[in-house]
């Protein structure tokens, strides 16, 4: 550090040069751009590679423009999935259960131009909420009761409740 300050103090005007020309005499400084989020992004990619892609993006990337966040909870008698789908109409959501795979797909439509007072439209806008189709798949265990799955939507959250089949209880068989 001391040599850097000494080098900086030794900077002087080059003889016969204009007021903005300096002689740096061996002073070399490397400038590197620091991107703090680059490390976090790389860590996320490494985790996804190790544990596999949890939201099945490879199989749905051809048909999906975005993927809703999902909370999955297991209780003693049921599974509960909570999908964040604000702005998605219930008629635009399709839920299917086939061969132990629950598929949730749908679309968020583009909103019409929003006008302010006096009929004026926005001059600029920033859109951060993704639009278009979404697609999620979940592999369910054999213990689910496929006939009694139900779904409800409230405040932009789609709740899917998947009951489990009653456990087979051991029974005593009398010998006659």
CATH number reported for the structural domain that contains residue 96 in this entry: 2.60.40.790
Task: Give me the domain span that covers residue 84.
Answer: 36-110+132-163
pLDDT digits (tens, 9 = 90+) for 78-108: 999 999 999 888 888 999 999 999 999 999 8
Measured distance CA(68)–CA(43) in Å, rounded: 22
In a domain, 52, yes or no: yes
* pTM for the full predicted model: 0.57
Q: Examine the pLDDT at 59 and tell me if it is beyond 50.
A: no
Supply 89's token pair. Answer: 């109409």
Distance CA 102, CA 97 (A): 4
């Amino acid at each position: 550090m001391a040599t850097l300050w000494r080098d900086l103090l030794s900077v002087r005007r080059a003889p016969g040069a204009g007021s903005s020309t300096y002689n740096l005499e061996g002073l070399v400084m490397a400038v590197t751009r620091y991107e703090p989020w680059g490390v976090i992004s790389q860590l996320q990619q490494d985790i996804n590679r190790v544990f596999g892609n949890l939201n099945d993006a490879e199989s749905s990337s051809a048909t999906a423009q975005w993927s809703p966040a999902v909370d999955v909870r297991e209780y003693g008698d049921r599974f509960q999935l909570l999908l964040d789908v604000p702005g998605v109409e219930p008629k635009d959501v399709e839920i299917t259960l086939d061969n132990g795979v629950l598929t949730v797909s749908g679309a968020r439509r583009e909103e019409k131009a929003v006008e302010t007072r006096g009929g004026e439209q926005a001059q600029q806008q920033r859109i951060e909420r993704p639009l278009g189709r979404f697609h999620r798949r979940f592999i369910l265990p054999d213990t689910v009761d496929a006939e009694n799955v139900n779904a409800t939507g409230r405040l932009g959250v789609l709740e899917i409740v998947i009951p489990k089949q009653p456990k087979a209880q051991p029974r005593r068989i009398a010998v006659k």
